[in-house]
Amino acid sequence: MEKPSELSIDLPDEASTVDLGRQLGGALPRSGIVFLSGELGAGKTTLVRGVLHSLGHVGAVKSPTYTLCEPYVVGGDFSICHFDLYRLGQAEELEFLGFRDYVSSGALLLIEWPERAAGWLPVPDLEIRLSHRDSGRSCDLIGHGERGQTCLMELAA
């Protein structure tokens, strides 16, 4: 079976977005980079909430719009860093945030608004593009490299 490089999913409501996040939680690599793109209100943080809850996080998951990064530890030792780069003035500000340390930490990095740091971010394992569609949303997932391809295969199964 050939590995998919792209997968498209219709998300008719918020519950389906959370459910996709839960499915992703079981398929995502334990370290790597995931880009989450889409307009304001497209469901990026909702999707992250589903991922974190599927991995055992209890409690609220808020957008790190003002803190830029919200770290989580789930399952005792699995580190996830949820970034929101919407307020980033210049991509170079990532250097001041210690972004290289996050990349080399072995954590899974979930990055909203990656286009705000174009040219400074490494190639992601997975790109998730959310968009408004009719009364719901659509989601396009693009896998890069072995980790991204494996994730897409698990989601498609």
Q: Which residues pair with 88 in a beta bridge?
A: none
- The predicted pLDDT at position 68 comes to 87
Which residue is associated with the tokens 């945030």?
97
Domains held by the chain: number: 1
Q: What is the CATH number of the domain that holds 48?
A: 3.40.50.300
Res 19 pLDDT > 60: yes
Tens-digit pLDDT profile for residues 26-48:
999 889 999 999 999 899 999 99
Whether 92 is covered by a domain: the verdict is: yes
Rounded Cα gap, residues 82 and 100, in angstroms: 15
Residue 22, token pair as written in the block: 């839960």
Confirm whether 59 is domain-assigned.
Answer: yes
* 27 inside domain: yes
Domain contains 43: yes
Residue of 114 and 66 predicted with greater confidence: 114
pLDDT for position 90: 87
Residue 35's pLDDT is 97
Give the position of tokens 């608004």: 113
Q: Which runs of E-coded beta strand occur in 22-135?
A: 32-37, 69-74, 78-84, 108-112, 126-133
What is the pLDDT at residue 2? 46
At 1 the pLDDT is 38
pLDDT digits (tens, 9 = 90+) for 96-136: 888 889 999 989 999 999 999 988 899 999 999 999 888 88
Q: Please give the residue range of the domain that contains residue 45.
A: 6-136+145-156
pLDDT at 20 over 60: yes
Residue 1 placed within a domain: no
Block residue for tokens 């699995």: 78
**Does residue 66 sit within a domain?**
yes
CB 114 within 8 A of CB 103: no
In this structure, is residue 96 part of a structural domain? yes
Q: What is the pLDDT of residue 3?
A: 47
> Is the residue at 122 inside a domain?
yes
pLDDT score of 60 more than 50: yes
pLDDT at site 72: 92
Per-residue pLDDT averaged across 88-101, rounded?
87
Amino acid at 34: V
